[in-house]
Structure 1
Amino acid sequence: MHSDNGEFKILEELGLEYEPVAIKYLTKPPKDIPALETKSALCEMLKKAQGGEVFYAGLENHTCEAGPYVLGLKEIEEQFISGEFGAGLGVFKDPRAASRLYHYTPRISPGVLNYVAFAPLGKVTFEPDILIILAEIPQAEIILRAMSYESGEMWMSRYSSAIGCAWLFAQPYLSGEINYFTTGFGFGMRRRKLFPEGRQFIAVPFDRLPGLLKTLREMPWVPRPFEADGLEFVKKLRISLGLDDE
């Protein structure tokens, strides 16, 4: 599934301010994608790709321990697991509260990947493992409604006060579920002032992407009750179903 075959074209109609970013997990360095020449946190790499850059990163490119940990590239130091660091930052009251974070934070198993490729959707040359979208509320509502349009599934956001990158890069990949959360809640991303607050991050795993794009092409983006004659439409519907009298 590549951008040049039109599969992703429907996303352009959303009018997103930030271009979606395709993520690919690799065991070997790609030959057709340049290596990242700088060092940064995983969330900062995402911001860089939103700005139009295409690159891949390895363990040596990470400056924040959270990224390599959730990607399974490296074990994390004892001071993090014990909760001393999280409590020291003031994210949690004490180490015992902070240590709970590591009991539920999703993490890709070591050995699954060694490198991560990033590309804005307009420049992607690979089939994404995850597509990360940053949307405003009206745009996010359309995407999430498309997620449940045929299945009727529950909308469920999963996030934590720290190690927010895990819920974009690991949880959707491991669960096969679309995940979303509001920017401005996560400690590290907020501290770095990377993304405008009050937007919705939506992470779509590879096995949900084709169906989501298909539904976006077929589903009415504006439901009839939201059109100009919406009140009259709902009134007639209720009468036709026997809920109200004429």
Structure 2
Amino acid sequence: MDIKEINNYGQELITRLNLKTSPVAVRLIPAGGEIPTEVKKVEETMRHCQMIDRVRKTGEEFYSLVEDHMCKGGAASMGLGKMPKKVGSGEFYYKGLSHFSNINAARRTVENAPMLPPNSTEAILYGALDKASFEPDVAVVICNPRQIMLLTQAIMYKRGGRLEVGFAGKQSVCSDGVVQAYRDGQVGITVGCSGSRAYTEIADEEMTIGIPVELLPDITKALARICPN
């Protein structure tokens, strides 16, 4: 897909949905793959959700390696490194955060989250969809429920049916927002998680949707019908 065309899709989403911030282009570079030389490396250690939140507001473009990610569980879900033992076993969510009644409930939740194989990703690229210099795999949009509704209607416009999504309030912007769309080619909608709510400026009234980039042509065409400006 042509980069200029992708940028136009990003601008269409902003205009049709009246978005306050930019959709974020995310590209996962497979292990051993080459990182575009024109994209700079992120200058500080952050969580993936913080990188998304920063880019949607500033329009910056950068790439990150595993050592740039403060949240190793979120990084591992996207194939950067290995899942920390306490996260993978559920211990972190059970004993650390007291979010579950028992260790097995916590473990099952982690095991059912969309994940990529350990060390399968070399780097992750981030940029504003409306001006990114690279072709992304996923477009992440953080917006309000009404805008999610309009995107859902646009997704349903061509084929109808129902949109099946799953989330657990854990690893939301990483597993649900990126991995599900990247791995399965399916839209991922999530309400957020404790980490993404605590460490970013994502508002209480905002949700996250991850869209496989190949769906953008049909979605933007449908939005032109549903949201004529």
Q: TM-score range by the shorter chain?
A: 0.7 to 0.9
Q: Say whether the 8 Å CA contact 1:23–1:119 is kept in structure 2.
A: yes
Q: Say whether the 8 Å CA contact 1:34–1:55 is kept in structure 2.
A: yes
Unaligned runs of 5+ in 2: none
Cα distance in 2 for residues equivalent to 1:21 and 1:182: 17
**1:20 aligned to 23, 29, 50, which one?**
23
The equivalent of 1:173 in structure 2 is 182
Q: What is the aligned residue count?
A: 219
Cα distance in 1 for residues equivalent to 2:3 and 2:104: 46
Q: Which moved more, 1:53-62 or 1:89-98?
A: 89-98
Q: Is the counterpart of residue 144 in structure 1 residue 152 in structure 2?
A: yes
Q: 1:9 to 1:17 in 2, by over 3 A?
A: closer
Rg comparison, structure with higher value? 1
Q: Is the counterpart of residue 154 in structure 1 residue 162 in structure 2?
A: yes
Cα distance in 2 for residues equivalent to 1:156 and 1:132: 18
Q: Say whether the 8 Å CA contact 1:182–1:197 is kept in structure 2.
A: no
Q: 1:51 to 1:6 in 2, by over 3 A?
A: closer
Cα distance in 1 for residues equivalent to 2:188 and 2:76: 20
The equivalent of 2:79 in structure 1 is 72
Q: 1:159 to 1:137 in 2, by over 3 A?
A: same
**1:214 aligned to 221, 226, 229, which one?**
221
Q: 1:28 to 1:111 in 2, by over 3 A?
A: farther
Q: Is the counterpart of residue 190 in structure 1 residue 191 in structure 2?
A: no
Q: Return the TM-score normalized by structure 1.
A: 0.82
* Equivalent residue runs for 1:25-174 within 5 Å: 25-26=28-29, 27-52=33-58, 53-88=60-95, 89-110=97-118, 112-164=120-172, 165-174=174-183
Percent identity of paired positions between Structure 1 and Structure 2: 24
1:42 partner letter: H
Aligned alpha-carbon RMSD (Å): 1.9
Cα distance in 1 for residues equivalent to 2:216 and 2:76: 26
CA deviation map 1:145-189 (0-9, x unaligned): 010011113123321122222101101111111121234xx1211
Shift of 1:125: 1.2
Q: Say whether the 8 Å CA contact 2:178–2:188 is kept in structure 1.
A: no
1:149 partner letter: Y
Cα distance in 1 for residues equivalent to 2:117 and 2:190: 23
1:19 partner letter: S
Secondary structure at 2:214's aligned position in 1? coil
Shift of 1:100: 0.9
Shift of 1:98: 1.0
Q: Say whether the 8 Å CA contact 2:139–2:213 is kept in structure 1.
A: yes
Secondary structure at 1:8's aligned position in 2? helix
CA deviation map 1:191-216 (0-9, x unaligned): 22430012231110122222212222
Shift of 1:110: 3.8
Flag as ranges the 4+ runs of structure 1 deviating above 6 A.
none
Unaligned runs of 5+ in 1: 223-246
Cα distance in 1 for residues equivalent to 2:213 and 2:72: 26
Cα distance in 1 for residues equivalent to 2:46 and 2:81: 16
Greater RCO, 1 or 2 (C-alpha within 8 Å, sep 6+): 2
Q: Return the TM-score normalized by structure 2.
A: 0.87
Cα distance in 2 for residues equivalent to 1:180 and 1:91: 21
Q: Say whether the 8 Å CA contact 1:84–1:94 is kept in structure 2.
A: no
Q: 1:85 to 1:125 in 2, by over 3 A?
A: same
Cα distance in 2 for residues equivalent to 1:99 and 1:220: 41
Q: 1:169 to 1:126 in 2, by over 3 A?
A: same
